[in-house]
Amino acid sequence: MFEIVAYLYDSELVAKFQRKCGLFLVEAHPKTDNPLQDTDDTEIHIRKRCIRLNGHSVITKETLDNNSNDENEFTSNAQVYEVRNWLLHILFLVSASLGHEIFYITFLPCLHWNLDPFLCRRLVNMWALVMYIGQVLKDVLKLPRPLSPPVVKLESRVEAEYGLPSTHAIAATSIFFTLLLSAPSRVQFQFEVGLLVAVVMSGLVCLSRLYTGMHSALDVICGALISAVVMLITYPYWETFEVLQLTSPLSPIVALALPLFLCYTYPELDHYSTTRGDTTTIFGSAAGCSVGYWVNEQLGETFEPQGVLPVPLPSLTLAGLAMGTARFTLGVAALVLTRQVAKTVSLRVLCSWYRVPVHDREARRRKEIEVPYKFITYTLVGLVNCIVVNRFFILLGLL
């Protein structure tokens, strides 16, 4: 058993997968006549902007000709990579983006505005739960990410985070399979097709974490399993929780107080990591949405499909596509505007209170500043998403 775990955790396994997919690590040495020997006539693409990763300079994205005179940009520890299969490269980079903020702030609200707020509510609830479990496990287990070399690392933001479990795998598995389990009671579709889509999409996200060099196979497998176990345990109580969430007078208090408490008591590390900030972002969004759904229920305007459920999927017509695009564009613009205003105001107030410069990066990472400003910002984003945007659509005749 130990041998299997060690094999799945091995960095060389990740590097082998990368090479199978056409991604190769190229060692660059400074001040040589030809630092990049292109022996097989394959063009090597290099990013020229250097970032610091654990003391290594990583050269990242821009084409550098073999005859260029940029050798002085390299250091003895510089890393460059060669891409031989651009189709897989783009596919896995796009798949990896499904675990980032840009996906959450677009896909989940779009589902709310264009299909069914019920489904969005289910996804947000499960997403917040599994992501908190995954983030905490990372900082409790403290298992490092794959080593580079031999692995090519294509991301830098989360480098300071620990590896196991993969929260991309957790999020992808929970979102796509929660949607698969919840949708049959709301909309008519062929379950087998939905199952295939869920398997393919979550599988692509999981494999993208190997391709980008950010997780071992063990990290990814554990992430998917954790998500599956949490869903299996909680599934019988989904409806009961939603009734309490929408009808209990204590719901908005619990929705705000409990996540905020969990963010403040998040496990402390001996170095700064993005996990606490990301967890606060997720909990803030979920808290705002929860309060928003409760408010809509009290007002009797839930914006859910009317008639006998499950309803047929909306026809894909030019008029419907134009209407959906308009809702998506205006809705995302409203959320981005809310985020920017709330972030700016909350940061200025907190930095003024603690008497630190608003542009001091280290000060903004302090718990007493990072947690409240991110929680306030994303709680307001969630509230605007659930309460304001749909009413704005009604005023514009888009709903």
Helix ranges restricted to H, 265-300: 275-299
Q: Name the DSSP letter for residue 306.
A: P
Which pLDDT score, from 0 to 100, does residue 14 have?
92
Q: How far apart are CA 82 and CA 64, in angstroms?
A: 11
- Verify whether residue 359 is a known catalytic residue: no
Query: Which pLDDT tens digit goes with each residue over 279-288?
Result: 999 999 999 9
Q: What is the pLDDT of residue 302?
A: 84
Considering 56, 100, 168, 271, which one is annotated as catalytic?
168
The pLDDT assigned to 307 comes to 77
For the chain, the structural domain boundaries read 1-12+85-236, 23-84, 248-299+323-399
- pLDDT, residue 305, reads 82
- pLDDT value of position 360: 85
Nearest-Å Rg of the Cα atoms of the chain is: 23
Structure confidence by residue, pLDDT tens digits, 216-269: 999 999 999 999 999 999 999 999 999 999 999 999 999 999 999 999 999 888
Q: What is the pLDDT of residue 335?
A: 92
State the pLDDT at residue 303: 86
Phi/psi at 376 (5° precision):
-60, -45
3-state class of 83 per DSSP? strand
Q: Is 217 helix (H, G, I), strand (E, B) or coil?
A: helix
Distance of CA 177 to the CA centre of its chain: 16
Q: Where are the alpha helices (DSSP H) in 80-166?
A: 86-97, 101-114, 117-141
* 112 has catalytic annotation: no
Quick check: helix, strand or coil at residue 4? helix
What's the pTM value of the predicted model, to 2 decimals? 0.82
Task: Please compute the mean of the pLDDT values over residues 9-26 and round it to a whole number.
Answer: 90
List C-alpha distances in Å: 233 to 72, 126, 214, 238, 289: 56, 12, 29, 10, 23
Q: Which of 29, 215, 271, 359 is catalytic?
A: 215
3-state DSSP assignment of residue 58 = strand
What are the phi and psi torsion angles at 85 (to 5°)? -135, 90
Q: What is the mean pLDDT of residues 143-170?
A: 84
Encode pLDDT of 312-356 as tens digits: 877 778 888 888 899 999 999 999 999 999 999 999 999 999 888
User: Taking a C-beta distance cutoff of 8 angstroms, is the pair 209, 216 a contact?
Assistant: no
